[in-house]
Amino acid sequence: MPFPLDRPRRLRRSAGLRRLTRETRLSTDQLVYPLFVAPGRNQQQEIASMPGQYRWSVDTAVSEAEDAAQLGIPAVLLFGLPEEKDPQGTGAYDASGIVQQAARAIKRSVPDLVVIADTCVCEYTSHGHCGVISESGNPDVENDATLELLARTAVSQADSGVDVIAPSDMMDGRVAAIRHALDERGFAGLPIISYAAKYASAFYGPFREAADSAPQFGDRRTYQMDPPNVREALREIALDLEEGADAVMVKPALAYLDVIRAARDRFDAPLAAYNVSGEYAMVKAAARNGWLDERRVVTEILTGIVRAGADIVITYHAKDIARWLRD
Ligand code: PBG
């Protein structure tokens, strides 16, 4: 029996060798931590399907943002639960709306933390869709009327001091509309990270409970992408970049690692991936049952997302990972 000449196992012999030859490195610098902000004071209400995640009031959201910054996490992503919803989603662009208040308070307390605003209206509309529903009886979201609403929302978020606008609605032409409105209002320097390839996914279930944003009728399949498609994702990303997006996102992450890889290979813009609520819930449920080792599984998942090509990872595990990477 000849001995094998090539022995990949040589470089796996010790923890030190494995560290030296590691091809993918996960870093706290890549993390974005999502926060749900709700009305009230001194509130921290756990989200049932997302153990360890909460609806914060503005004051507790500030403490949580301070905590994240302390752990070295560079950015938070804000979602708002308004006091009241209406068919037009006017709460999205209210100067004293929930995200606007939270952004002001967080920037005051932790000025160096990057505050990203999710720009969408589904948390603010009574029907739960990501745009305007026509009164003519067509139960679909009206694209161009929604663009005005999104542009207005982005400008109001910019006014409140956010550092990044992140449109998540999937209307055609929204990046151009938002870019134009921001430029006109003196925010030419404010970056846009667009949810460019956002799929109509069942993995958003827990988020919709958290944000109370489930559509009251129909679903989002006429605006979010069809899961089997990858060429279409590249087309969406190309369009968003042409329209002025500074960075782009693929969402969800785990069932779409090939989309992340294809996007990385094709485009040079910074690429974000959203490790969404359902992906978080699955890990938490299994870990709580003692079926999986949470730390190892989360590290493996996040490393996989980065290995697939993501530069930035939006994840509810952010604080845990930051702690694990530090300890
Ligand atoms: C708003 C929005 C959603 C998510 C992020 N922004 C929900 C949706 O599109 O229904 C989902 C995030 C998650 O599941 O963690 N449009």
Output the tens digit of pLDDT for each of the chain's 327 residues. 789 999 999 999 999 999 999 999 999 999 999 999 999 999 999 999 999 999 999 999 999 999 999 999 999 999 999 999 999 999 999 999 999 999 999 999 999 999 999 999 999 999 999 999 987 767 789 999 999 999 999 999 999 999 999 999 999 999 999 999 999 999 999 999 999 999 999 999 999 999 989 999 889 999 999 999 999 999 999 999 999 999 999 999 999 999 999 999 999 999 999 999 999 999 999 999 999 999 999 999 999 999 999 999 999 999 999 999 998
251 noted as active-site residue:
yes
Query: Which structural domain, as residue segments, surrounds residue 66?
Result: 25-326
CA distance 171 to 129: 12
- Cα(19) to ligand 1 centroid in Å equals 36
pTM: 0.97
Which helix (H) or strand (E) is 235 found in, with range? helix 231-242
Q: Which of 85, 198, 284, 319 is catalytic?
A: 198
Nearest to 63 by CA among 29, 100, 117, 106: 106
Token representation of residue 53:
């995640």
CATH code: domain of residue 188: 3.20.20.70
Residue whose CA is at the smallest distance from ligand 1 atom 7: 204
- Residue 120 · residue 110 · CB < 8 Å: no
Q: Measure the CA dihedral 84/99/322/24, to 10°.
A: 100
Is position 204 within any domain? yes
The CA 207 to ligand 1 mean position distance, Å, reads 6
Closest CA to 266 of 244, 241, 234: 234
Instruction: Examine the residue annotation and report whether 284 is marked as an active-site residue of this protein.
Output: no
263 lies in some domain: yes
Domain-embedded: residue 12: no
Alpha helices in 81-123 (DSSP H): 98-109
Residue 171 lies inside a defined structural domain of this protein: yes
Into how many domains does the chain fold? 1
Of 36, 204, 284, the one to substitute when testing ligand 1's pocket (max ligand atoms within 8 A of C-beta) is 204
Domain presence at residue 202: yes
CB of 50 within 6 A of ligand 1: the answer is no
Residue 19 lies in a domain: no
User: What is the Cα–Cα distance from 128 to 114, expressed in whole angstroms?
Assistant: 28
In a domain, 7, yes or no: no
Query: Is 15 a member of any domain?
Result: no
Q: Distance from the CA of 306 to the center of ligand 1, in angstroms?
A: 21
- Count the Cβ atoms, other than its own, within 10 Å of residue 293: 12
